[in-house]
Structure 1
Amino acid sequence: MTNLTYLIPAALFLGALGLGGFLWALKSGQYEDLDGAAERILIDGEDKSER
């Protein structure tokens, strides 16, 4: 029973830390362009090895 005294606050802290990281990622624009990286690989760019 005394283990719960340590585990519950630790779980709440880790959950809040994860939520804070997710909110920070939203605020900094990490999820703004979800299709850009997926479509970028399909675009033929100039091949630098042929120069």
Structure 2
Amino acid sequence: MSVIYILLSISIIIAVVFFIAFITAVRKGQFDDSYTPSVRMLFDDELVKKQPKPSIKIKKD
């Protein structure tokens, strides 16, 4: 039973360390993306795929 308490305390300590590292990275601006929004409008056309032409042709009289 004491092993469970040791493992639980170690896992909580590791989780807190990773949370502090994440908060530090966010505050330093590591996740800020200032380049993509400025060029996104240039590549919008590439995201739209062309519609295939229908294979059934309608005859007009």
Which structure has more relative contact order (CA 8 Å, sep 6+)? It is 1
RMSD after superposition: 1.8
How many residues are matched?
37
Segments ≥4 residues shifted beyond 4 Å: none
* 1:42 matched residue in structure 2: none
Q: How far did residue 5 of structure 1 move?
A: 1.9
Higher radius of gyration, 1 or 2: 2
- Segments of 5+ residues of structure 1 without an aligned counterpart are 40-51
- Segments of 5+ residues of structure 2 without an aligned counterpart are 40-61
| TM-score (structure 1 length as normaliser) | 0.62
Point out the more displaced range, 27-36 or 2-11. 27-36
Between the two proteins, what is the percent identity of the paired residues?
19
| TM-score (structure 2 length as normaliser) | 0.53
1:4-44 CA-to-partner distances (Å, cap 9, x unmatched) read: 121111000000001000000000000011755xx7xxxxx
